[in-house]
């Protein structure tokens, strides 16, 4: 089996060990946000979009607010399952 390089924050998802503890809700949310905002934070992205167009910046800010709300109201088990599924898909590409 080929060893696939992983970002240190996602190492346990790429190479789980039998003794790996489940991720906390905050860790799962952070990793999902990193999948969306690869080169920075959500706030950085909103500011970048705002600099291009204030109208689009407002829309970007609303999207980030909705993402935060969805992450807050979705059960932890479902978020972790989604995260694992997304990482599996990335590894298969």
**pLDDT at residue 24, as a whole number:** 86
pLDDT at 10 over 60: no
Average pLDDT score over residue span 42-69: 96
**pLDDT at residue 21, as a whole number:** 66
Structure tokens at 50: 């705002």
**pLDDT at residue 54, as a whole number:** 96
Structure tokens at 63: 């999207």
pLDDT at 42 over 50: yes
> With 0-12 CB in 10 A as exposed, 13-18 as middle and 19+ as buried, what is 28?
buried
**pLDDT at residue 8, as a whole number:** 46
Q: Are 32 and 84 in contact (CB under 8 A)?
A: no
**pLDDT at residue 20, as a whole number:** 56
**pLDDT at residue 2, as a whole number:** 36
């Amino acid at each position: 089996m080929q060893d696939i390089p992983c970002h240190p924050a996602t190492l346990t998802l790429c190479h789980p060990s039998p003794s790996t503890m489940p991720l906390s809700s905050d860790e799962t949310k952070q990793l999902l946000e990193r999948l969306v905002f690869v080169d920075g934070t959500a706030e950085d992205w909103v500011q970048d979009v705002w600099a291009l167009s204030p109208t689009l910046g407002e829309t970007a800010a609303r999207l980030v607010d909705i993402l935060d709300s969805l992450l807050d109201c979705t059960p932890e088990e479902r978020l972790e399952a989604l995260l694992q599924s997304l990482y599996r898909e990335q590894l298969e590409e």
